Amino acid sequence: MPADGEGAKKVINVKTRKKLDERQRKQMQHELKVYMEQYFKRKLGKGVDYTKIVIWEDMLIVRGERFLTEPELYIVQTPAGKEVVRAARMEVARQHSIDNVPYFEEKLHAKAIHQTYDIEPESDFWMHIVIFDRALTE
**Per-residue pLDDT at 3:** 42
Half-sphere exposure of 110 (CA within 13 A, CB side): 22
**Per-residue pLDDT at 5:** 42
pLDDT < 70 stretches in the chain: 1-16
Left if phi > 0, otherwise alpha if psi is -120 to 50, otherwise beta: which for 5? left
| DSSP 3-state of 29 | helix
| DSSP 3-state of 134 | coil
**Per-residue pLDDT at 104:** 97
pTM for this prediction: 0.80
